[in-house]
Amino acid sequence: MPETTFLDSTELVLNMGPQHPSTHGVLRVILKLDGEKVMGTECVIGYLHRGVEKIGENRTYQQFAPYVDRMDYVAAVSNGLGYCLAVEKLLNIEAPPRAQVTRVILTELNRIASHLLWLGTHALDIGAITPVFYCFREREEVLKIFENYCGARLTTHAFRIGGLQYELYDGFEEQVKAFCDMFLPKVDEYEELLTNNRIWVARLKGVGILTGDECKEFGVTGPVLRAAGVKWDLRKAQPYSGYEQYDFEIPTGENGDTYDRYMVRMQEMRQAVRIIRQAVEKIPSGPIGKTPKVIKPATGEVYVSIEAPKGELGYFVVSDNSTQPYRVRVRPPSFVNLQALDRMVRGGLVADVVAIIGTLDIVLGEVDR
Amino acid sequence: MKKFLRTIFLVDLFQGLWVTFRNQNPKYIYTEQYPAERPKVAERYRGAPRLNINPDNGETLCIACNLCALACPETLIVVTSERNEQTRRKELTTFTYDLSRCMFCGLCEDACPVDALELTQDFELATYTREGQIWDRQMLEEGPTPTQYKC
């Protein structure tokens, strides 16, 4: 063993997680430390692996739909939309307009719910305890809309292949409009609490910088990419489910640090409200689509990706002309974004690791699948 | 200069404190006192399953077609039936529903052609034993009876 004096510093290996409140689940990060400085990290994932992709091979197309909700469980509606769009593309069918508009409203509401949960827990990690209560209060309103619509709050199973299962309930438009009116002042309230707060700014500004080029190298998508100044949003780049009809902007940041990512997500919530308001005004009448009783697509493969709250969520479905998919591969945004953790953390301080994991907005159900 | 003054007088912190102060009003209390105050769940809530019976004659509505068992992703429904020799119709004998594996996706109630199987608004499903989670036909028809607490 080499002799060390108190002047030499040796590498200290510290395990963070899997049972650590700020890793947002069961992520284990092995930190290599030099004093307070992080020299390197290694992520250990798989604690929440449930083999969702393998389950998909043993279920029919309709039966697999509830399982995808359980990957990104804070944005279950987006997951369901991605899967339904993939199978619909495989079958060469399209949901009727009424179903498409309803899908847009529910996914945007889910984006708000997901960002609210992110904001609350992220602020809690940094040390601001108040926002989490306010965020959950507003998130409750979104979950009530989901509960009224499809009967479940979190793992909604709201969409079916080929359209919707449930007709809109009476008072849906009013409830959504009331939520939009109530919600925008609340976003201002969160901004009042945090945006100028000196502790918040000091903890976030210049922490975990990821430039646009680095984002592209890692394949990072979603708010993390947009905060680096890259204007890339799949809702604009390759519109699905009728997103081209809506007028909205893609908020971007400049520096690609944690503070910019916070600002981008706050703006995204406002844009989501803008989309919902436009969509509620023009829900067309007509059929909501009928789920085919037996789904047996022709042999082929299809990749469909959507803009989930956390980034690009892709489904790659291979069919072998049977009622069960031959292979379902999911490209989860959290899993890909998590790779960038090492680059963002290296050279920083231990306390910033918590802020950076929070800002990546990972959901471990989706990372491990 | 303005920024300096804002820093000196802690404007940002008081701004945040003002938000929390505004929310102190007791009319903004959102906490539900759960066991005493029971939440009203939505009409479409997907909770405990129920096997409906015909209110006129007390017979089950189930026609033992087995479609729910086929639709279930977890294959947790087991339906057995026997053919009635006089009427030449299938009659339901047993119906078991393993709630411990159920994820309340609602595919079984969608598949039911006669609206016999339904997911209801009952959400208190805890039991003391694992076997208690496996519901037989009688339990499915009667539904759970959770303890009602009063404060």
Tell me what pLDDT residue B2 has.
Answer: 77
Residues of A in Cβ contact (< 8 Å) with B3 = none
> What percentage of chain A reaches a pLDDT higher than 70?
98
Query: DSSP labels for A4-23?
Result: --TTS---EEEEE-SS-GGG
CA distance A199 to chain B (A): 9
The CA distance from A291 to A96, in Å, is 12
Tell me what pLDDT residue A115 has.
Answer: 92
For residue A9, is it within any domain? no
Mean pLDDT, chain A, integer = 87
In residues, how long is chain A? 369
For residue A25, is it within any domain? no
Residues of A in Cβ contact (< 8 Å) with B16 = 130, 192-194, 197
Tell me what pLDDT residue A8 has.
Answer: 60
For residue A362, is it within any domain? no
A187, A199, A146, A165: which is closest to A287 by C-alpha? Answer: A165
Strand locations in chain B (E): 49-51, 77-84, 89-98, 117-119, 134-135
The CA distance from A189 to A169, in Å, is 31
**Residues in contact with B128: Cβ distance below 8 Å, sequence separation at least 6, in sequence order:** none
The CA distance from B47 to A140, in Å, is 19
- Note whether A152 contacts B46, CB cutoff 8 Å: yes
The CATH number assigned to the domain holding A157 equals 1.10.645.10
Tell me what pLDDT residue B121 has.
Answer: 87
Restricting to B residues 27-66, those with a Cβ less than 8 Å away from any Cβ of A are 30, 41-46
For residue B132, is it within any domain? yes
For residue A4, is it within any domain? no
Residues of B in Cβ contact (< 8 Å) with A67 = 73
Number of A to B CB contacts under 8 A, please give it. Answer: 72
Q: Residue B42's closest chain A neighbor by CA?
A: A148
Tell me what pLDDT residue A109 has.
Answer: 92
What are the two backbone dihedrals, phi and then psi, of residue A90, each rounded to the nearest 5 degrees? -65, -35
> What percentage of chain A reaches a pLDDT higher than 90?
16
Tell whether the torsion through CA atoms of A259, A264, A269 and A274 is positive or negative: positive
Instruction: Read off the pLDDT of residues A10-37 as tens digits, 9 standing for 90 and up.
Output: 788 888 878 877 777 788 888 888 888 8
Q: Residue B48's closest chain A neighbor by CA?
A: A151
Identity of the residue in A59, A152, A166 whose CB atom sits nearest the CB atom of B73: A59
Identity of the residue in A144, A166, A193 whose CB atom sits nearest the CB atom of B44: A166
Q: Which of A171-185, A312-326, A334-348, B78-92 has the lowest mean pLDDT?
A: B78-92
pLDDT at A104 over 80: yes
Q: Residue B3's closest chain A neighbor by CA?
A: A196
Is B111 part of the contact surface with chain A (CB cutoff 8 Å)?
Answer: no
For residue B18, is it within any domain? no
Instruction: Read off the pLDDT of residues A188-200 as tens digits, 9 standing for 90 and up.
Output: 888 888 888 888 8
Identity of the residue in A137, A165, A197 whose CB atom sits nearest the CB atom of B110: A165
C-alpha count within 13 angstroms, C-beta hemisphere, residue A330: 33
Q: Are B110 and B150 in contact (CB under 8 A)?
A: no
A344, A302, A319, A258: which is closest to A82 by C-alpha? Answer: A302
For residue B98, is it within any domain? yes
Instruction: Read off the pLDDT of residues B121-151 as tens digits, 9 standing for 90 and up.
Output: 888 888 888 888 888 888 888 888 877 777 6
For residue A176, is it within any domain? yes
> What percentage of chain B reaches a pLDDT higher than 70?
99
* Start-end of H helices in chain A: 52-57, 61-68, 76-91, 97-126, 130-150, 172-194, 198-204, 212-218, 223-227, 234-237, 258-281, 333-338, 341-345, 350-360, 364-368
The CA distance from B97 to A309, in Å, is 36
For residue A363, is it within any domain? no
For residue B27, is it within any domain? no
Interface of A with B (CB under 8 A): 59, 62-67, 70, 130, 134, 137, 140, 144, 147-152, 155, 157, 165-166, 169, 189, 192-194, 196-198
pLDDT at A170 over 80: yes
- Residue A5's pLDDT band (boundaries 50, 70, 90)? low
Number of domains forming the structure of chain B: 1
Q: For the residues A108-122, what does the mean pLDDT come to? A: 91
For residue B9, is it within any domain? no
Q: Which domain holds residue A172?
A: 49-337
pLDDT at B47 over 80: yes
Instruction: Read off the pLDDT of residues A29-81 as tens digits, 9 standing for 90 and up.
Output: 888 888 888 888 888 888 889 888 899 888 898 889 899 988 888 888 999 99
Tell me what pLDDT residue A163 has.
Answer: 83
For residue B91, is it within any domain? yes
CA distance A345 to chain B (A): 28
Q: Which domain holds residue B72?
A: 49-142
For residue B5, is it within any domain? no
The residue among B68, B103, B121, B123 with the most chain A CBs within 10 A of its CB, best to mutate, is B103
The CATH number assigned to the domain holding B133 equals 3.30.70.3270
Distance of CA B26 to the CA centre of its chain: 31
- Residue A4's pLDDT band (boundaries 50, 70, 90)? low
Number of domains forming the structure of chain A: 1
For A226, counting Cβ atoms within 10 Å of its Cβ (0-12 exposed, 13-18 middle, 19+ buried), the class is buried
- Residue A7's pLDDT band (boundaries 50, 70, 90)? low
Tell me what pLDDT residue A107 has.
Answer: 92
Residue A113: left (phi > 0), alpha (psi -120 to 50), or beta? alpha
For residue A93, is it within any domain? yes
For residue A213, is it within any domain? yes
Buried b (16+ CB within 10 A) or exposed e, A309-334: bbbbbbbbbbbeeeebbeebebbbbb
Instruction: Read off the pLDDT of residues A237-252 as tens digits, 9 standing for 90 and up.
Output: 888 888 888 888 888 8
The residue among B10, B17, B107, B122 with the most chain A CBs within 10 A of its CB, best to mutate, is B107
Tell me what pLDDT residue B124 has.
Answer: 86
- Residue A9's pLDDT band (boundaries 50, 70, 90)? low
For residue B118, is it within any domain? yes
Which residue in this structure is represented by tokens 């890909």? Answer: A336
